[in-house]
Chain A
Amino acid sequence: MTRDYYGRPVLKEPVWKWYIPAYFFTGGLAGASSTLALAARASGNRPLARSALLASSAGIAVSGPLLVVDLGRPARFLGMLRVAKPTSPMSVGSWLLAVFGPASAIAAATDVSGRMGRVGWAAAAVAGVLGPAVSTYTAVLVADTAIPAWHDAYRELPFLFAGSSAASAGGVALALTPVGDAAPARRLAVVGALAELAAARSMESRVAGPYENGQAGRLARAAEACTAAGAVAALAAGRRRGVAVGAGALLAAGSMLTRFSVFRAGFESAADPAATIGPQRARLEAVPGDEPVRRRQADERVRGVPSAHERRI
């Protein structure tokens, strides 16, 4: 049992609203989709490239407004590009999006208009190469906080987000692409789903608490169910387009629920003083040195030490 101040949290809960985990999903989908599109185009699979580019540009088009709306001063969103700071994952992400967003839009527009050309290829290449970074930097963004459930999961979160992004990108492309051309999307969806499930398990085994209990735990279980069902459906779809669409919807839902679960876990972790104090206290107790002093203090506390004023200090 840790000691605390009237059960009050040590940390502040994040002030971010649902826009942020929603963006983690749309941004992750956009990032992995642009990489899928680049690989599809390079291998000559134009229908798959088209649907992945559409998913990418749609995802990123939604992401921008989600991020701006969450700001306390939305009109100052360009302030994000006022400086470039590697110590701030949000600054790194802003610069990534400033390049990725237009590249993804140009790639999709040129593909749809049938005038891909050199510009279209360059844009698709830039978006495709930056895609994996866009999908995973958001894991660093939440891990780089004082909140135990987020910070302590920094080894698993990037893989969770990468797997989740791959599952959603593969799933959405699977749903949007004619069955004859969708095989790579199916494979990416299944591999991504397996990675997402494995990373979530690994994270829960190391950073239990918030990911197992409460609202975050319920979201995590729903995510797991959707992702697993989506992966099975993707494998079972065969040439049935309807099943493929269902698989894509399930994988996308699982991916989004994963981000909302992580998001909620941060709030629950921040609100719990024991989650902050417990591990820190254990760390101090593990260091030898002040132990006799502390034990003596504990003894005297029980006996009731006279106060400083009573001793006239």
Chain B
Amino acid sequence: MTTRMGFFTDTSVCIGCKACEVACKEWNDVPDDGLNFLATSYDNTGALSADTWRHVAFVEQPGRWLMSSDVCKHCTHAACLDVCPTGALFRTEFDTVVVQSDVCNGCGYCVPACPFGVIDKREPDGRAWKCTLCYDRLKSDLEPACAKACPTDSIQFGPLDELRERAATRVGVLREAGVVDARLYGADENDGVGGFGAFFLLLDDPEVYGLPPDPVVTTRDLPGMWRVSAGAALALAGAVAAAFARRW
């Protein structure tokens, strides 16, 4: 296993240019996601999807703009990967989570499993797609297309350890300067998904950017689910046996 690589998206310097969205589409040959007018600020992309692997959110607030480039979180405990029945979703040598499109059979289980609503099925194609953290570029020692294209270094790519240190320093600087809202999102290894491989510096609550404030990997409760299910199965078997008792 090589070093864990990831993204640190510092939204305090995002200027909403959407170069990341474009660069991602161009490099990864991601299909058209529709020419839509959503009438929500400057965001006509809407959300991450099978055909949108970077999404810039725009939030207009009194006295300020919030802009943030969202992406797959490449969770430490990834629900999509856990529930994938074919093994199409796998963890790479960079500790990122990638779909093998030659294996995916389009069962769709990963879609409702993701606590961030990232991965989705591409309809005409039938398979599930999401950010690969530019697996092909990483293999060639190149940084992912979105990070490369970002003009303000809002999207930073690198070894996750270094990014976390850099992010902690950055939050300190911002708070010192009076930006008390600055906080890291997904940098804590003790959160519900074991920390993100792609984490963020936000200036407001995560939900304001369309992100879940306290995501938990659903498979954390799976042992309990199997136990309840075993109990229910035994009860069913017991009910059948009892139905044949001589007298009722």
Contact = CB atoms under 8 A, between A and B. Distances in A.
Contact of A154 (B174, B212, B225): B225
Given A39-B244, A154-B224, A11 B239 contact: no
B113 A145 contact: yes
Contacts of A155: 228
B236 A11 contact: no
A87 B82 contact: yes
A10 B174 contact: no
Interface in A291-306: 293, 296-297, 300-301, 304-306
A80 B86 contact: yes
B203 A82 contact: no
Given A136-B232, A147-B112, A5 B210 contact: yes
B177 interface: yes
B115 A146 contact: yes
Interface string B189-226: 00000000000000111011111111100110110111
A40 interface: yes
A277 B214 CA distance: 8
B233 A14 contact: no
Interface residues of A, number: 94
Contacts of A118: none
B59 interface: yes
A145 B208 CA distance: 23
B210 A10 contact: yes
B208 A5 contact: yes
A73 interface: yes
B214 A280 contact: yes
B64 interface: yes
Interface string B232-248: 11111101111110001
A22 B190 CA distance: 39
A72 B108 contact: yes
A165 B108 CA distance: 25
B207 to A, nearest CB: 5
Interface residues of B, number: 87
B106 A144 contact: no
Contact of B243 (A88, A137, A188): A188
A308 B203 contact: yes
B93 interface: no
A94 B117 contact: no
Contact of A146 (B79, B108, B120, B174): B79
Contacts of B59: 5
B174 A308 contact: yes
B214 A281 contact: yes
Contacts of A203: none
Interface string A115-143: 00000000000000001110111011101
Contacts of B209: 5
Contact of A15 (B120, B180, B203): B120
Interface string A79-120: 110110111111100100000000000000000000000000
A172 B205 CA distance: 53
Given A14-B108, A146-B79, A187 B243 contact: yes
Nearest to B68: A5
Interface stretch (A53-61, A156-164, A204-212, A215-223): A156-164
Contact of A82 (B65, B87, B114): B87
Given A162-B236, A195-B239, A301-B204, 12 more contacts: A5-B57, A8-B47, A32-B240, A36-B243, A70-B107, A71-B106, A76-B106, A87-B222, A90-B85, A144-B222, A145-B79, A158-B229
Interface of B: 12, 38, 40-41, 43, 46-47, 49, 57, 59, 61-65, 79, 82-88, 103-109, 111-121, 125-128, 173-174, 177-181, 203-205, 207-215, 218-219, 221-222, 224-226, 228-229, 231-237, 239-244, 248
